[in-house]
Amino acid sequence: QVQLVESGGGLVQPGGSLRLSCVASGRSISIYAMGWYRQAPGKQRELVAVISSGASTNYADSVKGRFTISRDNAKNTVYLQMNTLKPEDTAVYYCNANLAVVWYWGQGTQVTVSS
């Protein structure tokens, strides 16, 4: 079992930045693909960014060039650096660990972009 705890969300003005962290416990995440997803009110959960066990990354088109996903396996932690935030980035952000058919989710952290 892997437990995931997100932090770093909050209220930020448009154009601002936030860094989300996801700390894993229970086992090493080094062999897991790790991802960030988000869900806005009334919308389906969507992929934001994913990083493989080999550190290859992939991003949703809507965040390319603004968000950066990274991982520190020694700290069992994944990060999402979010820059130039827009109101449409407002959502609950969830951390995910994936290995084949096994998926783990965190409880989510709220990000609100508003003036």
Q: How many CB atoms lie within 10 A of CB 107?
A: 11
Model confidence band, residue 38 (pLDDT cutoffs 50, 70, 90): very high
Residues in a beta bridge with 46: 38
Looking only at the bridges linking them, the beta strands covering 10-12 and 109-113 are: parallel
pLDDT in tens, 73-99: 999 999 999 999 999 999 999 999 999
Q: Round to whole Å and give the CA distance between 7 and 9.
A: 6
Mean pLDDT, the chain, whole residue set:
96
pLDDT above 90 (res 102): no
Q: Are residues 73 and 30 in contact, defined by beta-carbon separation less than 8 angstroms?
A: yes
pLDDT above 90 (res 101): no
